[in-house]
């Protein structure tokens, strides 16, 4: 059974780590002011309608009149000495989901003179009863602790980056598990989930940006690049070295060719 998760979502992000030269905005590693230990924040506006930024050169994006309902904080820790990966720059606590089940761990990124990129992840031991799904009193799903360097590549930002650069890359993520389901004669049978993630990043414009700060006052005007990201994920599940059987995957709500948008 192969579940194709066309989890395609597009979002727009504006990079505020840039310098301007000859009217164009370019990001180099030296101008990418990101510390290995820092807190990123994201705000949800109280307005019901917010215009997407216009694309193109020499734009001015004014979001200084927005007000905010919620703030989300993302805390990154320095990972240079972390034994999990010798090329890690920072890490962030994360949860990894399979349907209603979540296992905790860390996501790692790296940085060098050429790019800021995804490195890999670690996960902790997690065990769940699946009696409500499969019916067996002793049925369970177990995720063992793992350390996984991603296959392939995802560069969050390349150095240098300028308008109208773009790049498409593919990486794979492997999640090992063990499954016990009496009705299928499975007893701690090893399996894995394989996610193939295809990501396209496009610099869609450059210009100047003003945003509303948390206290409602306008920020200083920033020289920025407009970054558009499109991501597609395709999930496959294997059990005992073969594709997981369709009736079992159906019990978990996963079907051949399943698309999620």
In-domain check, residue 257: no
Q: Is residue 147 part of a domain?
A: yes
Q: Tally the domains of the chain.
A: 1
Long-range contact pairs involving 212-219 (C-beta distance under 8 Å, separation at least 24): 212/63, 212/64, 212/65, 212/66, 212/67, 212/68, 214/43, 214/68, 214/71, 216/67, 218/64, 219/64
pLDDT, tens digit (0-9, with 9 covering 90-100), for 71-91: 889 999 999 999 999 999 999
30-42 pLDDT, tens digit per residue, is 888 899 999 988 8
CB 143 within 8 A of CB 175: yes
Does pLDDT of 70 surpass 90? no
Q: Is residue 256 in some structural domain?
A: no
On whether residue 14 sits in a domain, the answer given is: yes
Within a domain: 261: no
More confident residue, 6 or 141: 141
- The range of the structural domain enclosing residue 217 comes to 2-47+56-251
């Amino acid at each position: 059974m192969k579940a194709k998760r066309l989890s395609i979502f597009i979002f727009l992000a504006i990079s505020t780590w840039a310098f301007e030269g000859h009217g164009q905005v370019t990001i180099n590693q030296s101008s990418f002011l990101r510390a290995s230990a820092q807190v990123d924040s994201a705000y949800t506006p109280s307005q019901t309608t917010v215009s997407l930024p216009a694309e193109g050169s020499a734009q001015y994006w004014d979001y200084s009149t927005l007000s905010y309902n919620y703030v989300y904080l993302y805390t990154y820790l320095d990972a240079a000495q972390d034994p999990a990966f010798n090329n890690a720059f920072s890490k962030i606590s994360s949860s990894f989901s399979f349907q209603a089940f979540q296992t905790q761990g860390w996501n790692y990124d790296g940085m060098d003179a050429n790019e800021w990129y995804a490195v890999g992840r670690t996960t902790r031991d997690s065990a769940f009863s699946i009696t409500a799904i499969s019916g067996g009193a002793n049925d369970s799903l177990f995720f063992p602790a793992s350390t996984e360097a991603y296959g392939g590549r995802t560069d969050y930002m390349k150095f240098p980056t300028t308008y109208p650069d773009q790049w498409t890359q593919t990486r794979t993520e492997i999640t090992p598990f063990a499954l016990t389901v009496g009705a299928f004669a499975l007893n701690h049978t090893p399996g894995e989930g394989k996610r193939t993630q295809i990501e396209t990043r496009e610099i869609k414009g450059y210009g100047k940006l003003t945003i509303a700060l948390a206290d409602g006052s306008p920020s200083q005007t920033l020289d920025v690049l407009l970054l558009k990201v499109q991501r597609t994920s395709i999930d496959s599940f294997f059990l005992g070295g073969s594709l997981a059987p369709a009736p079992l995957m159906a019990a978990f709500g996963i079907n051949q060719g399943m698309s999620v948008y």
